A = this chain, B = another copy of it.
Amino acid sequence: MAGAQGTTTRRSRITPEREAELYGAVLDLLREVGYDALTMDGVAARARSSKATLYRQWGSKAELVVKALRHQKPVRIDEIDTGSLRGDFRTLVSLNDDCRMERDGALMRGLAMAMHDNPDLHRAFHELLIEPEMTGLDRVVRRAVDRGEVSADNPALGYIVHMMIGAFVGRNMIDNQPVSQAFLTSYVDAVILPALGV
């Protein structure tokens, strides 16, 4: 209760529309100049806001950037519940179209570089983006275990995120191609589901 109240108070100064507009400005700037050259002054100018407002709402550049990334996620993973693990992965793969995955892939690779030298960004990225996604994916997979689709002691249960990272990083590094829905669908069917015994 106290936590929810705290969040509401902090967020209450800004409308959801204004928040979305600010996040849009952050992502545009991030694509144009990269994380290191992005400044709170630059965001304030682009979004016709003030640096004081940005710091009051978000506390740091790292938090603002990661929340902007999180805001564009269309669906919470743990809300995906089609009744089968294959169906859930199909839905997960279909959330972002190929253009968007190609665009976001470039953004994510740039951020991965920046994280190397920015512990604040690394921490915010893990806490606000990676961990919630992992928790969501874990719920999806738990439901498959509860349905009896996956054995509770299948050792690949601990490596689902590793397998997925391999798809994204390997597609770029080895195949030198952007990740697409067709590629991810094929990878899920060839690697992830068989490893889980589905």
Binding site for B on A (CB under 8 A): 109, 113, 116, 130, 134, 154-156, 158-159, 161-167, 169-171, 173-174, 186-187, 189-191, 194-195, 197
A109 to B113 alpha-carbon distance, docked (Å)? 10
Cβ–Cβ < 8 Å partners of A156 in chain B: 190-191, 194
State the Cβ distance, A108 to closest chain B Cβ, in Å.
Answer: 11
Asked if A187 meets B174 with Cβ closer than 8 Å, knowing A113-B113, A113-B116, A194-B194, the reply is no
Which single member of B158, B166, B186, B197 contacts A169 (CB below 8 Å)?
Answer: B166
Question: In whole angstroms, how far apart are the Cα atoms of A24 and B194 in the complex?
Answer: 43
Q: Could you say which residues of chain B place their CB within 8 Å of the CB of A186?
A: 155
Residue in B134, B159, B167, B169 whose CB lies within 8 Å of A191: B159
Q: How close is A180's CB to chain B, nearest CB, in angstroms?
A: 14
Q: How far is the CB of A116 from chain B (nearest CB, A)?
A: 6
What residues of B have a CB within 8 angstroms of the CB of A163 in the complex?
Answer: 163, 166, 170, 191
Closest to A175 in B: B162
C-alpha spacing A174/B109, complex, angstroms: 16
Contacts of A169 in B (CB 8 A): 162, 165-166, 169
CB contacts (< 8 Å) of A191 on chain B: these are 156, 159, 162-163, 191, 195
Known: A116-B109, A116-B113, A191-B195. A162 touches B158 (CB 8 A): no
> What are 6 A-to-B residue pairs whose CB atoms are below 8 Å?
A109-B116, A156-B190, A156-B191, A161-B174, A166-B169, A194-B195
Inside 8 A of A189's CB, which chain B residues have their CB?
A: 155
